[in-house]
Every structure is written in C-alpha cells, then in structure tokens.
Amino acid sequence: MGIMRKNTMMNQRVRIVRQALKLTQAEFAKQVGLAQTALSMIELGNNTLTDKVIKLICAEFGVNETWIRTGKGQMMKESPQLKELGDILVNLTPETQQYLLLMARELLNVQEKLLKESDTDNTIESKDKK
C-alpha cells in the first residue's frame, strides 16, 4: 500500500472517530485546536494528518493511536474505569452480575431524567433573561 493510500485511510479514520463521538466538525476541531476548514480538509484527504494532530486527537478523545495510524486494534482506548468495572464484573456470580446490570440501567435512566430536567431549566432561564 502506497504512502498516499495509507494517509487517506488515516484521514478517513479521523472522520470515523468524530462521527462515533457524535461531534460536528466545528466541535471536534475546536477541541484539538484546529479550524473547522482544516479538519474538513484532513477528513477529505486534502490536508496531511500530522503526528501532532494525531497525538492531540488521541489525548483529547481517548483514541488508540495504533488504530488511527493502522486501523488495527480497538478505536478507543479502554478507560481505567471500564477496565476496573470489567475486572469486578468477572469476579461476581452470575446473579450478582445481573443485579449490577439492572442497577447500571436504572442509574442511566436517572441520569437521563436529570439531564432533561437540567436542559428544561436552562431553557426557561434563557427565556426569562430575554
């Protein structure tokens, strides 16, 4: 595989990361210190993806640098919290694993409700300031 093809694949993986994170080009670019147009050109393969930008993307978003460069391995690095949770989970009985999953789902539901309430409160506050 030629160097241009390899670079094009890396550029495509940048887009895959951004889309997986559900970020716009502007949001993603801002977090790594790029202009939106520069990111767009990288994703299209018209700008070179530098080592510096690769390292910034990996540091900012927890991306596996080997994956972004080669496509090998998992896209995202495993977080220490996820690793710890996995280590705990494998040491629990099947019944306790099911209970933990049930509690995690309930916690997720509570979080979603709280976030919706917070969004509603912020909308009301914005209208009140006008």
Q: What is the pLDDT of residues 11-22, one digit of tens each?
A: 999 999 999 999
Decide yes or no: CATH 1.10.260.40 for domain 3-70: yes
What is the rounded distance in angstroms from the CA atom of residue 74 to the CA atom of residue 68?
9
What is the rounded distance in angstroms from the CA atom of residue 57 to the CA atom of residue 14?
8
Tally of CA atoms within 13 A in the half-sphere of 107 that contains its CB: 6
Q: What is the pLDDT of residues 44-90, one digit of tens each?
A: 999 989 999 999 999 999 999 999 999 999 999 877 788 888 889 89
